[in-house]
């Protein structure tokens, strides 16, 4: 990642960054992991697509350094909703890949359930 100052929320009002939008194009979980795609990497290098926030997110999540949505918001000092809108825009444009967490409800593996029950039992004994 190039050496530069991190963007701060104090410089630009959040509604300017999102062009007044408060709802993301995609629902992204707080703990979802974000990684820059090949398209995002080449687009940011060639012409600086998007604003400085887009470029910063692409650089932050590049080279195998996946970041959660919460980490992105914290490092950029932006409200979570603003970061969610920006990342959702980038995901719909193919600049980043978003990996949603899997739900335990989707887990049908009996071994996994048994393991969780043993962990819970051990915690209760503490």
For the chain, the C-alpha Rg in angstroms (whole number) is 18
48-70, pLDDT tens digit by residue? Answer: 556 788 889 999 999 888 999 99
Task: Give the pLDDT confidence of 95-104 residue by residue, as tens digits.
Answer: 999 998 876 5
Q: Report residue 23: phi and psi, to 5°.
A: -110, 130
Phi/psi of residue 73, each to 5°? -60, -45
Read off the pLDDT of residues 12-35 as tens digits, 9 standing for 90 and up.
Answer: 566 666 666 767 778 888 889 999
Confidence of residue 2 (pLDDT cuts 50, 70, 90): very low
Structure tokens of 126? 């503490």
pTM for the complete prediction?
0.67
Sheet of strand 96-99: strand arrangement: 67-68, 33-36, 96-99
Note the residue count of the chain: 126
């Amino acid at each position: 990642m190039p050496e530069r100052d991190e963007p701060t929320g104090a410089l630009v009002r959040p509604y300017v960054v999102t062009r007044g939008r408060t709802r993301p194009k995609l629902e992204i979980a707080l703990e979802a992991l974000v990684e820059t795609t090949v398209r995002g990497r080449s687009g940011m290098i060639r012409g600086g697509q998007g604003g400085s926030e887009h470029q910063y997110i692409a650089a932050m999540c590049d080279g195998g350094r996946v970041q959660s949505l919460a980490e992105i918001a914290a490092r950029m000092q932006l409200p979570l909703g603003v970061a969610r809108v920006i990342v959702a825009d980038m995901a719909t444009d193919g600049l980043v890949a978003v990996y949603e967490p899997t739900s335990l409800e989707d887990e049908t593996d009996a071994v996994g359930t048994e393991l969780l029950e043993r962990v819970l039992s051990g915690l209760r004994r503490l």
